Amino acid sequence: MKVKIKGWNTVAVWKWLANDDKCGICRAPFDGCCSDCKVPGDDCPLVWGVCSHCFHMHCIMKWLAAQQNQICPMCRQDWQLKSE
Amino acid sequence: MFFPGLHPVSKESRTVFSVSGSPDVSQDDTSTVTQRRTSSGSPSKKKSRPPPLPFRLPTEDEERAEREKGIAGPSSIGGGDDHMSTTPTKTAPPHYIKRRNMESKEATLRSILRLLAFGGHIPREAAKKIYPEYLIEKERLTDLQKVISLPDLDKCLRWCRSTAPDLFWSPFQRKDGQQSMEEWKCFEVVHQAASSTAVKFMAMMDKSVKPFSNAKCGSNSFEPFQFLCKNLAGLIFASYRKNVKLSTIDEIFENFYSCGFRAWMHLNDVSDNDTMDTSAGGDSCEACSENPCVCSKITAVFKEANLALHALGLMEELAGPRMYNVIQGDIKQHIHKCVSEKYDVGHLDALMQWFNKRNKIWIETIYPWMVDASEKQLKRISEEFLVLLLEIYGKCIISDMFSIIIEFPESQPILDDLRFCMKQVNLRSELVTDLKTALERRLLNAGVNTDNVLEAYVATVRALKFVDPSGILAQLVTPPVREYLRLREETVRVILVSLTDESGELAEELIKNPTYVDKKTVNMTNWRSWVPDPIDVPKDKHNLRKSDLIEALVSIYGSKTVFIDEYRALLADRLLRMIKPGCITREIKCLELLKLRFGESDLQKCEVMLKDVSDSQRLNVRFYEEEGAALVNSDVKLTGLVVSAQFWPTFKKETLELPKPVEEAMEKYTKAFEMIKGNRTLEWQKQIGTVEVEVEHGGTTLTLIVSPAQATVLWHFQDKEQWGLEELSQITGTTPSALKSRIAFWISKGILTNMGDGVYGLVDSVSEGKPTASRFTEEVDNDSPMTSMSTQRATELQMFWSYIEGMLTNLESLPLARIHSMLKLFATVECSSEELQKFLDEKVSQNMLVFSAGQYQLPK
């Protein structure tokens, strides 16, 4: 007997490769989106700081805009985007 | 069961004046008097008993005593000159009318009427002054006592009480012994009784009352006299239940009226063609079954008897119910004949034509004295008959309402008729109770499919909205159905399937009226036309009043959240089942429509789901079809649906080890994905999806679409022809029981076979394996890949557990209500207290909680 697989449709769940499940600012899962967005993933990406903390991009932008000092809300170090 | 409004008083006065023809009574005057009487007589409308007597009816003992003494009454009271020379004396035989010639009969009647019009010469104004319309009966009696001295009145009443009833009922009693009476005989009995009694009774009344009225009050005697007459008529009526068998009287009167009508119709030839055939000729007449036909005679006598009964004031009390029955029967018969399950046409016009013909007959025969009456009065009577007709027609429709509703909208014309009927007659409660029982009996039982129930529900709401656009009817009738639908598990699913099925009726509804209307806005511009709800309408919070059909369906569940959650599950199921990830335009269209109805925010998740699908398609195209694509050269063409887990329903957890090449393909796919989308990876849901396999075995090739698990099982049989269940379950990473069902699928396809002892092997060739196929029912993997709603609910409740634990640690013990109210403060998910109790009780049974004295606490 020989079985030939002609096509295999299946389902995968995408996940961010992050060290946490939830955004430290909005407390929504990273796999979801920030409170202002409606669509996750490309439209609501994550950003990593040099301090290795990561947030929804929109969340940290909002945070930084509201602060005088550009610091990470988690560790209070200066916030700098980690370059890839 | 009298005819409402046909109170004898009004007719009496009307007749009296017209016959007496006193010159000082103008036409206008008469009509005002009539109106006045009608209004004062109205309280006794629709009562099945005689009008209330101002004096107490004597008990049997009293009556007997009175009868003994009263025998001498008439002679002692009598003495006024007998101006009724043509009236027969007390000893006249009951058959006198038959023997008399026409002239003397007329004379008799005329004298009766003259008597009734005793006070014809009294100026109307005087009568009015004495008896203003608000006077109640008792006061009238007092007035009467002023006119006639009390002892005399008493004597007079006592005499009447003891003599009049017997006198009236004697003709009936004579026939009492006979069991079955011929129609004609019955007819005669009634006629004689009515006529002779009228004559005798009036003569006696004349004798007994006249002396007083003449002597003491002169011109004012008219009203007291009439009053006395009327009350005596009531007295006679009250006594008839004691003296004569009820059934006999009923039978006699019913026969009398049906016979009378038939004869009349026969003569006038207005009957329907099929009820009787006048051309039958030779044999006895069909209307009266006599040969030669006596119809004309019957008609004449019939009219006369009616006149006499009316003169006695007994028409309504005595013959009313019977007459009513006959007319009702007549209408019923006709309606049933012409309606008979034809629901797609209206019958109202035909019925109205028929009615106009019949109405004339009824009035001419029953109320012969009304023929010359004013238009207004005739109109009033025919309106009453019309209401009767409409009521019967309406009831006829209501009795078949269920079938009519099922056939909606074809049955629209007949519902139009019903709407017309309901405007005239109050049939609402009847409709509600009848339809409710019909629905409960025919719809709400386990044997009916949910989609049929739903269809009927939709039809009911539509039909009732058609009959009553305000929606009150729908709101009153549908609660049992809604209650029932709520209990059926698959209801939401069925609703949604029919909503999203393009060819379905409901889909049209969804397209037709997509506007999301805020119900709270009250239109104040036409507040004058506001109509309050009837008092018996329940204050239901989900009312069907202003809502349309979709809302009527959604309201079964109370809130739209249940509905939307279920839609999400349904949508996920559909998207995952799609064999070829393809066309989702239909789903998109449907979602757009739903968004219009339910608002965008609630359906956000569904939108993301659809976006995932289209994104995945683009991804697959990029991986496989574009030039230099990453996965062009892979062995297995793996197409993935990459979903955002937060927005999809939870998937079922199931372990499954896939064949090597597939696992490899997945790894490659993941890598390719990670390349494109930085910092993101994939987690495969291996058990979900569809696999297209080509099985080559024993010279034949099968191409099948199976589930991943099924494909995996078969894959392993390539390496080894026989597998033990345990062994195979280890290598595929599934439970033996789940494995069995996969194997059963292949056995049914004739590829695998059970070798016994939990060992399965390949059959030698497909053709040989075929016969076994029939023994197994084909088991298609129909499980939804999602966890069921109830398990999802349980996980949601599990979320509360940490709250509850914290609560109980701080506060030691709490009652259910307290826990519930505290949870409500924090909870994001709605949860009823019943649900919570169930959850907590579960925890108690798991020894995670202790329940004592109505309080929950943590075990120490």
Q: Are B202 and B320 in contact (CB under 8 A)?
A: no
- Reported as a single tens digit per residue, the pLDDT across B785-814 is 666 666 667 777 777 788 888 888 888 888
Q: What is the pLDDT of residue B555?
A: 74
Q: Rounded to whole angstroms, how far apart are CA atoms A22 and B247?
A: 88
Give B242-272 as a 3 state SS string.
HHCCHHHHHHHHHHHHHHHHHHHHHHHCCCC
Give residue for tokens 């629709």: B46
- Reported as a single tens digit per residue, the pLDDT across B618-675 is 888 888 877 666 666 677 788 888 888 888 888 877 788 888 888 888 888 888 888 8
Q: Where are the beta strands (DSSP E) in A17-62?
A: 46-48, 54-56
* Chain A nearest CA to B661, separation (Å): 10
Higher pLDDT among residues B818 and B373, named by residue:
B818
Residue B351 has pLDDT above 60, yes or no: yes
Q: What is the pLDDT of residue B586?
A: 78
The reply to whether B782 and B801 lie within a common domain is: no
**What's B732's domain CATH number?**
3.30.230.130
Q: Rounded to whole angstroms, how far apart are CA atoms B75 and B54?
A: 26
Hey, of A1, A19, A44, A81, which one would you mutate to test binding to chain B, going by the most B CBs within 10 A of its CB? Answer: A1
Q: Which of residues 279-318 of B touch A (CB under 8 A)?
A: none
Q: Are B624 and B631 in contact (CB under 8 A)?
A: yes
Identify all chain A residues contacting B665, using CB atoms and an 8 Å cutoff: 8
Q: Rounded to whole angstroms, how far apart are CA atoms A29 and B651?
A: 18
User: Mean of the per-residue pLDDT values for chain B?
Assistant: 67
Chain B residue with minimum CA distance to A33: B646
From the number of C-beta atoms within 10 Å of its C-beta (0-12, 13-18, 19+), residue A54 rates as buried
Q: Rounded to whole angstroms, how far apart are CA atoms B193 and B168?
A: 7
Residue type, B418: L
Q: Cα dist. B404→B115, B452, B550, B734 in Å? A: 57, 15, 22, 55
The reply to whether B778 and B794 lie within a common domain is: no
Q: Determine, yes or no, domain membership for B560.
A: no
The reply to whether B818 and B837 lie within a common domain is: yes
Domain boundary among B743, B767, B786: B786
Query: Is the pTM higher than 0.90?
Result: no
Q: Which residues contact B242 (CB under 8 A, 6 or more apart)?
A: B60
Q: Are B279 and B80 in contact (CB under 8 A)?
A: no
* A to B CB pairs, distance under 8 Å: 154
- Nearest 5°: the CA angle B304, B309, B311 is 95
Q: What is the pLDDT of residue B413?
A: 82
Query: Of the ranges B114-118, B411-415, B547-551, B843-847, which one carries the lowest mean pLDDT score?
Result: B114-118
β-bridge pairing B722-724 and B759-762: antiparallel
Higher pLDDT among residues B839 and B500, named by residue:
B839
pLDDT-based confidence at residue B168 (cuts at 50, 70, 90): low
- Rg over alpha carbons for chain B, rounded to the nearest Å, is 44
Once rounded to an integer, what is the mean pLDDT over residues B70-96? 35
Q: Are B859 and B847 in contact (CB under 8 A)?
A: yes
Q: Determine, yes or no, domain membership for B29.
A: yes
State chain B's maximal CA–CA distance in angstroms: 134
Residue B717 has pLDDT above 80, yes or no: yes
* Side-chain half-sphere CA neighbours of B278 within 13 A: 13
β-bridge pairing A54-56 and A46-48: antiparallel
Higher pLDDT among residues B356 and B13, named by residue:
B356
Provide the domain limits for residue B301.
212-313
Q: Determine, yes or no, domain membership for B528.
A: no
Q: Rounded to whole angstroms, how far apart are CA atoms B54 and B361?
A: 37
Q: Rounded to whole angstroms, how far apart are CA atoms B110 and A12?
A: 105
Q: Determine, yes or no, domain membership for B281.
A: yes
Q: Determine, yes or no, domain membership for B672.
A: yes
Q: Determine, yes or no, domain membership for B577.
A: no
Domains of chain A: residue spans and CATH: 20-84 (3.30.40.10)
Higher pLDDT among residues B73 and B696, named by residue:
B696
Domain boundary among B480, B498, B518: B518
Helix/strand/coil percent split, chain A, to 5? 10, 35, 55
The reply to whether B758 and B801 lie within a common domain is: no
Q: Rounded to whole angstroms, how far apart are CA atoms B56 and B141?
A: 13
- Reported as a single tens digit per residue, the pLDDT across B225-270 is 455 555 555 555 555 545 555 556 666 666 677 777 777 766 665 4
The reply to whether B813 and B742 lie within a common domain is: no
* Chain A nearest CA to B518, separation (Å): 25
A19 and chain B: CB distance < 8 Å anywhere?
A: no
Here the contacts of B39-44 (C-beta below 8 Å, separation 24 or greater) are B39/B133, B40/B9, B40/B133, B40/B134, B40/B135, B41/B7, B41/B9, B41/B10, B42/B5, B42/B7, B44/B7
Residue type, B493: R
Q: Rounded to whole angstroms, how far apart are CA atoms A83 and B220?
A: 120
Q: Rounded to whole angstroms, how far apart are CA atoms B392 and B399?
A: 10
Give me the sign of the Cα torsion angle B762, B768, B772, B777: positive
Q: What is the pLDDT of residue B329?
A: 80
A6 and chain B: CB distance < 8 Å anywhere?
A: yes
- Look at chain B and report how many structural domains it folds into: 5
Q: Determine, yes or no, domain membership for B747.
A: yes
In terms of phi and psi (left: phi > 0; alpha: psi -120 to 50; beta: otherwise), the region of B496 is alpha
A39 and chain B: CB distance < 8 Å anywhere?
A: yes
Q: Which of residues 767-806 of B touch A (CB under 8 A)?
A: 785
Q: Which residues contact B568 (CB under 8 A, 6 or more apart)?
A: B605, B606, B609, B648, B649
Domain boundary among B763, B786, B809: B786
- Reported as a single tens digit per residue, the pLDDT across B551-600 is 777 777 767 777 788 888 888 888 887 756 557 777 888 888 888 777 88
B665 and chain A: CB distance < 8 Å anywhere?
A: yes
Once rounded to an integer, what is the mean pLDDT over residues B824-853? 79
* Chain B nearest CA to A60, separation (Å): 18
Q: Rounded to whole angstroms, how far apart are CA atoms B453 and B105?
A: 68
Q: Which of residues 46-75 of A touch B (CB under 8 A)?
A: 46, 48
B813-815: strand order across its sheet: B813-815, B855-857, B850-852
Can you say how many angstroms the Cα of residue B304 is from the centroid of all Cα atoms in its chain?
44
Hey, of B679, B692, B768, which one would you mutate to test binding to chain A, going by the most A CBs within 10 A of its CB? Answer: B679
pLDDT-based confidence at residue B517 (cuts at 50, 70, 90): very low
**What's B802's domain CATH number?**
1.10.10.10
ipTM score for this prediction = 0.92
Q: Are B480 and B456 in contact (CB under 8 A)?
A: no
Give residue for tokens 């129909």: B782
B618 and chain A: CB distance < 8 Å anywhere?
A: no
Query: Of the ranges B113-127, B191-205, B425-439, B726-740, which one carries the lowest mean pLDDT score?
Result: B113-127
Higher pLDDT among residues B213 and B427, named by residue:
B427
Query: Of the ranges B161-170, B638-647, B678-687, which one carries the lowest mean pLDDT score?
Result: B161-170
Q: What is the pLDDT of residue B161?
A: 60
Q: Cα dist. B604→B236, B411, B693, B810 in Å? A: 81, 41, 36, 39
Residue A53 has pLDDT above 70, yes or no: yes
Out of A20-34, B30-44, B613-627, the most confident range is: A20-34
- Reported as a single tens digit per residue, the pLDDT across B366-422 is 666 665 656 777 777 778 888 888 888 888 888 888 888 888 778 888 888 888 888
Q: Are B463 and B414 in contact (CB under 8 A)?
A: no
Q: Are B215 and B147 in contact (CB under 8 A)?
A: no
Q: What is the pLDDT of residue B773?
A: 40
pLDDT-based confidence at residue B499 (cuts at 50, 70, 90): confident
Q: Hey, which residues does B691 pair with through a beta bridge?
A: A8, B706
The reply to whether B695 and B772 lie within a common domain is: yes
The reply to whether B781 and B797 lie within a common domain is: no
The reply to whether B779 and B805 lie within a common domain is: no
In 3D, which of B75, B284, B277, B652 has the Cα closest to residue A11?
B652
Identify all chain A residues contacting B828, using CB atoms and an 8 Å cutoff: none
B678 and chain A: CB distance < 8 Å anywhere?
A: yes
The number of residues in chain A equals 84
The reply to whether B468 and B338 lie within a common domain is: yes
Query: Of the ranges A12-26, B20-34, B191-205, B846-860, which one carries the lowest mean pLDDT score?
Result: B20-34
Q: Are B693 and B717 in contact (CB under 8 A)?
A: no
* Chain B nearest CA to A18, separation (Å): 8
Q: Are B472 and B513 in contact (CB under 8 A)?
A: no
Q: What is the pLDDT of residue B27?
A: 38
Q: Hey, which residues does B696 pair with through a beta bridge?
A: A2, B701
Q: Determine, yes or no, domain membership for B602.
A: no
Helix (H, G, I), strand (E, B) or coil at B850: strand
Q: Which residues contact B197 (CB under 8 A, 6 or more apart)?
A: B167, B168, B171, B308, B312
The reply to whether B780 and B797 lie within a common domain is: no
Q: What is the pLDDT of residue B727?
A: 85
Hey, of A2, A9, A17, which one would you mutate to test binding to chain B, going by the most B CBs within 10 A of its CB? Answer: A9
Helix (H, G, I), strand (E, B) or coil at B689: strand
The reply to whether B345 and B445 lie within a common domain is: yes
The reply to whether B67 and B111 lie within a common domain is: yes
Higher pLDDT among residues B261 and B717, named by residue:
B717
Q: Are B339 and B401 in contact (CB under 8 A)?
A: no
Cβ–Cβ of A5/B642 closer than 8 Å? no
- Nearest 5°: the CA angle B388, B392, B398 is 145
A2 and chain B: CB distance < 8 Å anywhere?
A: yes
Here the contacts of B465-470 (C-beta below 8 Å, separation 24 or greater) are B465/B544, B466/B408, B466/B409, B466/B412, B466/B415, B466/B419, B467/B415, B467/B418, B467/B419, B467/B422, B468/B419, B468/B422, B470/B531, B470/B545
Q: Rounded to whole angstroms, how far apart are CA atoms B205 and B203?
A: 5
Identify all chain A residues contacting B688, using CB atoms and an 8 Å cutoff: 10-11
pLDDT-based confidence at residue A58 (cuts at 50, 70, 90): very high
Residue type, B376: K
Q: Hey, which residues does B485 pair with through a beta bridge?
A: none
Once rounded to an integer, what is the mean pLDDT over residues B489-503? 74
B697 and chain A: CB distance < 8 Å anywhere?
A: yes
The total of other beta-carbon atoms located within 10 Å of residue B125's CB is 10
